């Protein structure tokens, strides 16, 4: 309890880091529900890595003297631009390939993940400036968060959350049954594009704030936990967000108490919760089978 009181204190030095963690825990699971609904779980693995590749490419532009010396603010803007462009381009290409060519979707996504990881390393190997800047963003430490970074993250995530809630029915329809959406004269391409833009924005902001590992963890593990517990789409989204927020806060407190990295602690805690839920459900099903009398 002493740790919680210290963390919740208005004078706590790392309060911005807590706020960012809570924003990630709230919005990433909300976005992740659509990746789970569309059976694009592997996309949740690939997109953060592709976003990281975009950041590496942005820093490579500095090493190639395409852009001049950067101040901290310009550096963040360049990194965000590279991350967002690469993420949106990957979403567009992979989605078009999935719709026009049947089969092997996982292979294409896996290939994109491997290539993005390889190019991230190659783009940085001769760029010490970029390597230092990228590593600062990809470790998932969630420590140094300025007021400006917090405000930008909150604004971006606020827009994403409002639009996902406001157009929930349309997004669910084009995700579940695009043929029915066409029958109802819905512009499937426009709604898909808006949804992908929101996913890309969320992934880009999250990777810049907490790194690809934590982004992937919060995109997929809370929705998978929620899917096991929910009985409706509303419960699916709400439970995922609750799990994400609680895990983000508890993970931060544990990491602060044990003096370990925050991001990996959050993901490890999500894994423990997932195993507990899955194990409890398995035991419940087993007990139900044993309770049924044999004919």
Give the residue-averaged pLDDT of 55-80.
76
**CATH number of the domain bearing residue 163:** 1.10.3470.10
Q: How many CB atoms lie within 10 A of CB 132?
A: 11
Supply the DSSP symbol for 259.
Answer: T
Domain hosting residue 149, numbered range: 2-291
Identify the top-confidence range among 72-76, 121-125, 291-295. 121-125
List, in order, residues 6 or more apart from 20 with CB less than 8 Å away.
Answer: 142, 145, 149, 150, 153, 209, 210
Alpha-carbon torsion, ordered 133, 139, 143, 149, to 10 deg:
50
pLDDT(128) > 90: no
32-45 pLDDT per residue, tens: 999 998 888 888 88
Report d(CA 52, CA 202) in Å as an integer.
13
Tell me the two tokens of residue 259. 């003096």
Q: In the predicted model, is pLDDT for residue 137 greater than 60?
A: no
Tell which wins on pLDDT, 295 or 118: 118
Cα–Cα distance measured from residue 55 to residue 49, given in angstroms and rounded to the nearest whole number: 10
- Over the stretch 184-218, which tens digit does the pLDDT of each residue have? 888 988 999 899 999 999 999 998 888 888 999 99
77: pLDDT strictly greater than 90: no
User: How many domains are contained in the chain?
Assistant: 1
Q: Where are the alpha helices (DSSP H) in 167-211?
A: 168-176, 178-183, 188-210
What pLDDT score does 159 carry?
96
Whether 107 has a pLDDT exceeding 90, the answer reads: no
User: Mind giving me the DSSP string for 264-289?
Assistant: HHHHHHHHHHHHHHHHHHHHHHHHHH
116 in Cβ contact with 102 (< 8 Å): no
pLDDT of residue 135: 62
Calculate the CA 224 to chain-centre distance. 13
Q: Provide the pLDDT for residue 73.
A: 59
Q: Comparing C-alpha atoms, which of 245, 254, 247, 246 is closest to residue 271?
A: 247
Q: How far is CA 93 from CA 83, 105, 114, 162, 233, in A?
A: 16, 12, 16, 26, 28
Give the N- to C-terminal CA distance of the chain in Å, as an integer: 53
Q: What are phi and psi of 11, to 5 degrees?
A: -95, 5
Report how far residue 90's alpha carbon sits from residue 52's, in angstroms, rounded to the nearest whole number: 12
What's the rounded Cα separation, in Å, for the pair 108 and 93? 10
DSSP single-letter state for residue 194:
H
Query: Is this prediction's pTM over 0.85?
Result: yes
Mean pLDDT, the chain, whole residue set: 86
* C-alpha–C-alpha distance, residues 156 and 88, integer Å: 16
């Amino acid at each position: 309890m002493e740790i919680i009181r210290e963390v919740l204190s208005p004078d706590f030095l790392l309060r911005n880091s807590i706020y960012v963690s809570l924003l990630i825990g709230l919005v990433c699971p909300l976005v992740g529900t659509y990746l789970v609904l569309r059976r694009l779980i592997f996309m949740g693995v690939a997109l953060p890595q592709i976003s990281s590749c975009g950041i590496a490419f942005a820093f490579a532009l500095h090493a190639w003297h395409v852009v001049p010396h950067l101040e901290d603010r310009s550096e963040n803007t360049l990194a965000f631009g590279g991350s967002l462009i690469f993420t949106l381009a990957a979403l567009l290409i992979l989605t078009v390939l999935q719709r026009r060519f049947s089969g092997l979707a996982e292979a294409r996504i896996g290939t994109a993940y491997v290539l993005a990881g390889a190019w991230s390393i190659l783009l940085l190997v001769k760029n010490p400036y970029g390597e230092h800047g990228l590593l600062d963003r990809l470790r998932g430490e969630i420590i140094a968060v300025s007021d400006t970074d917090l405000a930008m993250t909150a604004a971006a995530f606020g827009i994403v959350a409002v639009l996902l809630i406001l157009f929930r029915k349309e997004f669910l329809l084009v995700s579940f049954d695009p043929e029915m959406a066409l029958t109802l004269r819905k512009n499937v391409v426009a709604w898909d594009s808006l949804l992908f833009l929101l996913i890309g924005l969320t992934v880009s902001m999250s990777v810049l704030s907490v790194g690809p590992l934590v982004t992937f963890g919060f995109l997929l593990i809370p929705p998978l936990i929620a899917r096991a517990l929910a009985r409706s789409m509303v419960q699916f989204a709400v439970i995922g967000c609750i799990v994400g927020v609680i895990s983000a806060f508890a993970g931060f407190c544990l990491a602060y108490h044990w003096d370990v990295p925050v991001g990996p602690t959050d993901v490890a805690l999500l894994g423990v919760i997932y195993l507990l839920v899955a194990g409890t459900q398995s035991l419940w099903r087993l007990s139900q089978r044993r309770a049924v009398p044999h004919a």
